[in-house]
């Protein structure tokens, strides 16, 4: 921004200056949260929706701002300069009007109900090589957004592109005075915002006020009301008009439009000459917006034939930066749309607001600039150096030449590929990362490495909720009761390592897995706490011993075999084992008539020691079977007593699984074994709803939406027939992903945008279809197979099974993604 002296601003806005006249101002702030480098900044205390801008003065002052435009005198702010005005917004606007008058350049003023920002951005994409453009940042088109935009104009610019947006009658006049457009562009007039206007005619009249002094006007000739209004307008009827449409009177006459799957070819006639261009979009709005752009190029006297190529490269615009969860608890901000200094400034600001101590930046060559490389990268470095970065990655042959300008720790690469070759996931750790780069650098390759949820279909595991659930169970136990967590079957399908690591970090005493190989994997991944193998196969004893896993021993035969293995391996110290007692489950375990021999063997053997004795309840989750549970617990008490007395030992005693903890916590003994509960499910639904949080969500996205007429059918075997006009969404998951085929044909539903959509027709191997006729949704929208709604319990009910089976059935080809909130 251009330099202004404080007294100059004061006289432009007709204010009263208190303080130092000669302070130089070249930055404007209105949101105190956005202040990073306050030097030469002035803060406008603008009134927001409900808030008086004066409320933020304190914060702005704390952040180093010393210059203010206010409507009340400032007291108690040492060394603050302020300009007192009646209305700070009006002052800003007056300053902008004055500023605009200093420059004699073509200014395109864009208004309309839809498409203002996209047309502005596309014009920039088409023209940045030909002009040095000043334009509205983002969608800054309001009463103060337009003023701020205009104040960005500098001597270097030779074209301005600004948008004007209104929501109330009589706003446009002020915007016209601020922007002072010389070329008017009218985009689509829709029904939007009509609520504040009497009717569409009034809306059109209001919009046309932006063009009160333009020399040229660009519009769609097909909108008869607009065309009529223009012809009847005193000023507009006389100026040069540039229109597009099918009419023979159109400057750009549409000859032919043909869309393929991804592109549209548009042929037009201008000055009797045919011209064909292509855009990488197929929707109607994009086609019209491209025609507006083309017509505007003609109004600007730009030879559009020379930039035919640019049309085929037009990019969609992201109005907001994408902020995504990334690996290792990081946050990713993706900004690869624009490649200029202004968007770098915005991106840095957003990054600065992320709640992470550690911040990193990936920055490529900046393409959209007319500055010399030296000036460009010096300015970029100035912006970047205002922040603290733990690491900066520079990518591109140009920017790397200037790496010495950047103050943080810098690594530089000539290409994205070169960077990715050495990229290691482990090096990313709990940080906020800004990816800021030009399209040709394909930073999306980096973002897909960093994103946790790049896959369409994933099983999301919320480790934070897992920990909270564990703490709920812990709170029901005595402080001395040990906690064993069951991570068998890949942690009930959620993936063993991440869950096990979380458990280990949270002070869990034991982990339980089903087979030795699961234990081995955990050891190899760095799990060091005791791991019990619940069902060790004879052939795996070697693995058990080699990886210091602790076997469940459930029979005399198994005990003898295991001791034999220890002897074979010449293990001299006593090896921990866990005795499983049969008390009523009739699955595995020592029976009472085994006890004598069991005691004899253990007495005469120093190769093993009994670390724990346990049993398992058959009906812990069934209140109606309380008597049976009590019978089991009673039998267990007696058995434990008989064995430990005979051996004179006191091993850890345990019996309860998750529902057991809820129902029989007086029998928690020395340890409990928590399984499904930590994943957020309990058969005791009151308890679950009150205390547990869902941990697992199976989600996917809509691949395609089709419109069916009544009578049309869906999927193999035509088992669904549309009874009315029906919208069908196809999802990219099927029975090979663990969605059981029996859920099809109306049996089950999935969640889309807060509503349930019935699965219709037969579920296929990799796909399934759902009825979204009554749900507002589009292709690419997220779909919940299970999670909050439907819940795992709902799916279990539809399948006539239990949540355990639903959880463990999700196919391994579905990526597991972990996050903490
Ligand atoms: C799986 C298992 C548990 C955990 O059961 P939940 O119902 O999931 O809490 C406890 N003990 C044993 C022996 C198990 O096999």
DSSP string, 284-332: HHHHHHHHHHHHHHHHTT--GGGGHHHHHT-----SS-EEEEETTTEEE
Report the alpha-carbon distance of residue 322 to residue 453 in Å, rounded: 13
pLDDT given for residue 319 in this prediction: 46
User: Does residue 519's CB lie within 6 angstroms of at least one atom of ligand 1?
Assistant: no
- Which of 284-291's residues contact partners 24+ apart within 8 Å by CB, and which partners? 285/114, 285/115, 285/188, 286/118, 287/257, 288/115, 288/188, 288/220, 289/115, 289/118, 289/119, 289/122, 289/187, 290/122, 290/266, 290/314, 291/220, 291/244, 291/252, 291/254, 291/266
User: Does residue 589's CB lie within 6 angstroms of at least one atom of ligand 1?
Assistant: no
User: Does residue 673's CB lie within 6 angstroms of at least one atom of ligand 1?
Assistant: yes
Atom of ligand 1 nearest to the CA of 677: 9
pLDDT given for residue 816 in this prediction: 81
What spacing in Å lies between the alpha carbon of 542 and ligand 1's midpoint? 25
User: Does residue 580's CB lie within 6 angstroms of at least one atom of ligand 1?
Assistant: no
Atom of ligand 1 nearest to the CA of 658: 9
User: Does residue 658's CB lie within 6 angstroms of at least one atom of ligand 1?
Assistant: yes
User: Sheet harboring 726-731: ordered strands across?
Assistant: 704-708, 726-731, 768-771, 755-760, 749-752, 782-786, 696-701, 458-462, 815-819
Nearest residue (CA) to ligand 1, atom 6: 675
pLDDT given for residue 128 in this prediction: 86
pLDDT given for residue 339 in this prediction: 79
* All residues at 6 or more sequence positions from 165 whose CB lies less than 8 Å from its CB, including other chains: 111, 116, 139, 141, 142, 145
Atom of ligand 1 nearest to the CA of 657: 9
Pocket-testing residue among 673, 677, 688, ligand 1, by greatest number of atoms within 8 A of Cβ: 673
pLDDT given for residue 341 in this prediction: 84
Q: What DSSP state is assigned to residue 430?
A: S
Its sign, for the CA torsion 369, 370, 372, 375, is negative
Distance between alpha carbon 590 and the CA centroid of its chain, in Å? 52
Q: What DSSP state is assigned to residue 10?
A: H
What spacing in Å lies between the alpha carbon of 368 and ligand 1's midpoint? 60
Q: Which two tokens stand for residue 338?
A: 């624009």
pLDDT given for residue 94 in this prediction: 97
What spacing in Å lies between the alpha carbon of 805 and ligand 1's midpoint? 13
User: Does residue 35's CB lie within 6 angstroms of at least one atom of ligand 1?
Assistant: no
Query: What's this model's pTM, rounded to 2 decimal places?
Result: 0.52
Question: Residue 199: which region, alpha, beta or left (left: phi > 0; alpha: psi -120 to 50)?
Answer: beta
Pocket-testing residue among 675, 677, 687, 806, ligand 1, by greatest number of atoms within 8 A of Cβ: 675
32 by DSSP, 3-state: which? helix
> Measuring CA to CA, which residue among 640, 649, 652 is closest to residue 592?
640
* 198 vs 435, higher pLDDT: 435
What spacing in Å lies between the alpha carbon of 486 and ligand 1's midpoint? 6
- For residue 681, which phi and psi values (nearest 5 degrees)? -120, 140
Question: Residue 648: which region, alpha, beta or left (left: phi > 0; alpha: psi -120 to 50)?
Answer: left
Q: State mean pLDDT over 169-187.
A: 95
User: Does residue 667's CB lie within 6 angstroms of at least one atom of ligand 1?
Assistant: no
Report the alpha-carbon distance of residue 818 to residue 388 in Å, rounded: 28
The answer to whether residues 89 and 47 touch, using CB atoms and an 8 Å cutoff, is yes
| Type and span of the H or E element at 751 | strand 749-752
What spacing in Å lies between the alpha carbon of 555 and ligand 1's midpoint? 19
Q: What DSSP state is assigned to residue 193?
A: T
Using the predicted structure, report yes or no on whether residue 49 has a pLDDT greater than 60.
no
Would you state the torsion angle of the CA atoms of residues 689, 692, 695, 700, taken in this order, to the nearest 10 degrees?
Answer: 10
pLDDT given for residue 316 in this prediction: 72
What spacing in Å lies between the alpha carbon of 792 and ligand 1's midpoint? 18
**Which domains does the chain possess?**
4-87 (3.40.1390.10), 103-312 (3.40.1190.10), 323-451 (3.90.190.20), 461-691 (3.20.20.10), 696-820 (2.40.37.10)
> Measuring CA to CA, which residue among 15, 28, 25 is closest to residue 84?
15
Atom of ligand 1 nearest to the CA of 616: 13
Q: How many residues does the chain have?
A: 821
User: Does residue 657's CB lie within 6 angstroms of at least one atom of ligand 1?
Assistant: yes
Give whole-number Cα distances, 450 to 423, 455, 461, 617, 740, in Å: 10, 12, 17, 44, 32
Please write the tens of the pLDDT for every residue from 457-473.
Answer: 889 888 889 999 999 99
Nearest residue (CA) to ligand 1, atom 13: 616
The answer to whether residues 254 and 270 touch, using CB atoms and an 8 Å cutoff, is no
User: Does residue 486's CB lie within 6 angstroms of at least one atom of ligand 1?
Assistant: yes
Atom of ligand 1 nearest to the CA of 621: 7
- Which of 145-148's residues contact partners 24+ apart within 8 Å by CB, and which partners? 146/96, 146/175, 146/178, 146/179, 147/92, 147/93, 147/95, 147/96, 147/178, 148/28, 148/30, 148/92, 148/96
User: Does residue 676's CB lie within 6 angstroms of at least one atom of ligand 1?
Assistant: yes
Pocket-testing residue among 477, 486, 679, ligand 1, by greatest number of atoms within 8 A of Cβ: 486
Q: Please state whether the peptide bond connecting residue 790 to the residue before it is cis, i.e. omega within 30 degrees of 0.
A: yes
Please write the tens of the pLDDT for every residue from 431-443.
Answer: 999 999 887 898 8
Annotated binding residues, written as ranges, equal: 587, 765
- For residue 205, which phi and psi values (nearest 5 degrees)? -60, -40
Res. 477 pLDDT band, cuts 50 70 90: very high
pLDDT given for residue 191 in this prediction: 64
Largest Cα–Cα separation, the chain: 113
Atom of ligand 1 nearest to the CA of 661: 9
pLDDT given for residue 523 in this prediction: 92
User: Does residue 534's CB lie within 6 angstroms of at least one atom of ligand 1?
Assistant: yes
User: Does residue 616's CB lie within 6 angstroms of at least one atom of ligand 1?
Assistant: yes
What spacing in Å lies between the alpha carbon of 532 and ligand 1's midpoint? 12
User: Does residue 749's CB lie within 6 angstroms of at least one atom of ligand 1?
Assistant: no
Nearest residue (CA) to ligand 1, atom 4: 675
User: Does residue 83's CB lie within 6 angstroms of at least one atom of ligand 1?
Assistant: no
**How many secondary structure helices (H) and strands (E) does the chain include?**
26, 41
Report the alpha-carbon distance of residue 783 to residue 458 in Å, rounded: 11
Pocket-testing residue among 470, 616, 632, 662, ligand 1, by greatest number of atoms within 8 A of Cβ: 616
Annotated binding residues for substrate, written as ranges, equal: 587, 765
Active site residues: 488, 716
The answer to whether residues 463 and 498 touch, using CB atoms and an 8 Å cutoff, is yes
DSSP string, 629-668: HHHHHHHHHHHHHHHHHHHT---EEE---HHHHHH-GGG-
Please write the tens of the pLDDT for every residue from 501-557.
Answer: 889 988 899 999 999 999 999 998 789 999 999 999 889 999 999 999 999 999 999
Please write the tens of the pLDDT for every residue from 560-605.
Answer: 999 999 999 988 889 999 999 999 999 999 999 999 999 999 999 9
Report the alpha-carbon distance of residue 204 to residue 411 in Å, rounded: 54
Helix spans in 353-462 (H): 373-385, 416-422, 444-450
What spacing in Å lies between the alpha carbon of 658 and ligand 1's midpoint? 7
What spacing in Å lies between the alpha carbon of 677 and ligand 1's midpoint? 10
Of 90-94, 323-327, 479-483, give the lowest mean pLDDT range.
323-327
Atom of ligand 1 nearest to the CA of 804: 8
Atom of ligand 1 nearest to the CA of 488: 1
Please write the tens of the pLDDT for every residue from 681-735.
Answer: 999 999 999 999 999 999 999 999 999 999 999 999 999 999 999 999 999 999 9
Helices 200-208 and 224-232: angle between axes, nearest 10 degrees: 50
Please name the residue that has the structure tokens 């391994």: 812
What spacing in Å lies between the alpha carbon of 476 and ligand 1's midpoint? 18
Report the alpha-carbon distance of residue 28 to residue 92 in Å, rounded: 10
Of 361-370, 637-646, 744-753, give the lowest mean pLDDT range.
361-370
Report the alpha-carbon distance of residue 531 to residue 20 in Å, rounded: 72
The answer to whether residues 47 and 91 touch, using CB atoms and an 8 Å cutoff, is no
Report the alpha-carbon distance of residue 364 to residue 362 in Å, rounded: 7
The answer to whether residues 28 and 93 touch, using CB atoms and an 8 Å cutoff, is no
Give whole-number Cα distances, 538 to 491, 543, 549, 761, in Å: 23, 10, 14, 46
3-state per-residue secondary structure call for 61-128 = HHCCCCEEEECCCCCCCCCCEEEECCCHHHHHHHHHHHHHHCCCCCEEEEECCECHHHHHHHHHHHHC
Res. 109 pLDDT band, cuts 50 70 90: very high
Report the alpha-carbon distance of residue 97 to residue 176 in Å, rounded: 9
Please write the tens of the pLDDT for every residue from 550-566.
Answer: 999 999 999 999 999 99
> Measuring CA to CA, which residue among 51, 101, 45, 48 is closest to residue 73?
45
Report the alpha-carbon distance of residue 335 to residue 575 in Å, rounded: 57
> How many C-beta atoms lie closer than 10 Å to residue 507's C-beta?
10
């Amino acid at each position: 921004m251009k330099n202004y002296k404080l007294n100059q601003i004061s006289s432009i806005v007709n204010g009263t200056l208190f303080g130092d006249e000669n302070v130089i101002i070249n930055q404007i702030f209105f949101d105190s949260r956005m202040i990073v480098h306050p030097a030469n900044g002035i803060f406008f205390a603008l009134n927001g929706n409900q808030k008086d801008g004066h409320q933020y003065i304190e914060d702005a002052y704390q952040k180093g701002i010393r210059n203010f435009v206010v409507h009340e005198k400032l007291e108690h702010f040492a060394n603050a300069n302020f300009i007192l005005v009646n209305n700070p917004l009006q002052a800003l606007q007056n300053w902008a009007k004055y500023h605009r008058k200093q420059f004699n350049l073509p200014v395109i003023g864009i208004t309309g109900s839809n498409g203002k920002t996209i047309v502005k951005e596309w014009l920039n994409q088409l023209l940045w090589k030909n002009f040095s453009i000043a334009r509205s940042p983002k969608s800054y088109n309001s009463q103060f957004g337009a003023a701020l935009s205009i104040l960005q104009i500098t001597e270097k610019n030779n074209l301005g592109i600004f948008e004007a947006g209104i929501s109330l009658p009589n706003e446009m006049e002020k915007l016209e005075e601020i922007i002072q457009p010389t070329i008017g562009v009218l985009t689509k007039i829709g029904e939007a915002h009509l609520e504040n206007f009497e009717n569409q005619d009034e809306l059109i009249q209001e919009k046309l006020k932006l063009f009160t002094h333009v020399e040229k006007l660009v519009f769609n000739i097909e909108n008869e009301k607009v065309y009529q209004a223009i012809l009847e307008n005193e000023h507009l009827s006389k100026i040069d008009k540039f229109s597009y449409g099918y009419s023979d009177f159109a400057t750009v006459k549409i000859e032919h439009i043909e869309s393929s799957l991804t592109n549209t070819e548009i042929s037009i006639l201008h000055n009797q000459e045919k011209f064909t261009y292509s855009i990488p979009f197929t929707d109607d709005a994009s086609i019209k917006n491209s025609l507006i752009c083309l017509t505007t190029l003609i109004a600007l006297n730009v030879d559009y034939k020379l930039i035919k190529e640019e049309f085929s490269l037009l990019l969609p615009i992201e109005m907001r930066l994408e902020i995504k969860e990334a690996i290792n608890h990081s946050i990713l901000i993706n900004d690869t749309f624009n490649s200029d200094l202004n968007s770098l400034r915005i991106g840095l600001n957003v990054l600065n607001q992320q709640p992470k101590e550690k911040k990193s930046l990936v920055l490529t060559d900046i393409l959209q600039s007319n500055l010399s490389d030296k000036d460009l990268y010096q300015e970029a470095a100035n912006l970047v150096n205002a922040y603290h970065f733990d690491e900066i990655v520079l990518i591109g042959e140009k920017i790397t030449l200037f790496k010495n300008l950047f103050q943080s720790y810098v690594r530089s690469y000539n290409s994205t590929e070169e960077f990715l070759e050495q990229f290691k996931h482990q090096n990313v750790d709990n940080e906020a990362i800004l990816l800021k780069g030009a399209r040709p650098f394909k930073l999306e390759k980096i973002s897909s490495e960093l994103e946790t949820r790049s896959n369409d279909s994933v099983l999301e595991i919320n480790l934070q909720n897992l920990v909270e659930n564990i703490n709920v169970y812990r709170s029901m136990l005595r402080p001395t009761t040990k906690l064993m967590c069951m991570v068998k079957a890949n942690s009930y399908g959620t993936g063993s390592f991440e869950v096990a690591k979380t458990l280990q970090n949270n002070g869990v005493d034991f982990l339980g897995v089903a087979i030795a190989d699961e234990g081995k994997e955990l050891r190899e991944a760095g799990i060091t706490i005791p791991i019990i193998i619940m069902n060790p196969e004879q052939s795996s004893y070697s693995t058990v011993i080699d990886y210091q896993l602790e076997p469940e021993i459930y029979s005399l035969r198994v005990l003898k075999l295991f001791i034999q293995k220890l002897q074979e391996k010449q293990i001299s110290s006593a090896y921990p084992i866990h005795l499983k007692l049969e008390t009523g489950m009739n699955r595995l375990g020592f029976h009472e008539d085994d006890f004598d021999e069991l005691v004899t063997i253990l007495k005469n053997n120093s190769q093993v020691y009994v670390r724990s004795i346990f049993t398992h309840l058959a009906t812990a989750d069934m209140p109606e079977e309380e008597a049976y549970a009590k019978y089991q617990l009673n039998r267990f008490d007696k058995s434990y007593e008989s064995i430990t007395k005979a051996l004179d030992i006191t091993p850890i005693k345990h019996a309860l699984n998750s529902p057991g903890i809820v129902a029989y916590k007086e029998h928690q003994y020395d340890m409990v074994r928590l399984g499904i509960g930590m994943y957020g499910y309990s058969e005791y639904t009151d308890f679950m709803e009150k205390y547990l949080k869902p941990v697992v969500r199976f989600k996917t996205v809509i691949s395609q939406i089709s419109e069916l007429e009544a009578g049309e059918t869906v999927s193999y075997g035509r088992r669904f027939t549309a009874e009315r006009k029906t919208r069908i969404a196809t999802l990219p998951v099927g029975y090979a992903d663990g969605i059981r085929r029996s859920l099809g044909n109306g049996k089950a539903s999935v969640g889309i945008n807060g509503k349930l959509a019935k699965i219709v027709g037969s579920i296929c191997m990799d796909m399934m279809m759902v009825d979204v006729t009554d749900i507002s949704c589009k292709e690419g929208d997220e779909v919940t197979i299970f999670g909050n709604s439907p819940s795992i319990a709902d799916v279990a009910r539809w399948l006539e099974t239990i949540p355990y089976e639903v959880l463990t059935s999700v196919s391994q080809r579905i990526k597991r993604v972990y996050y903490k909130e």
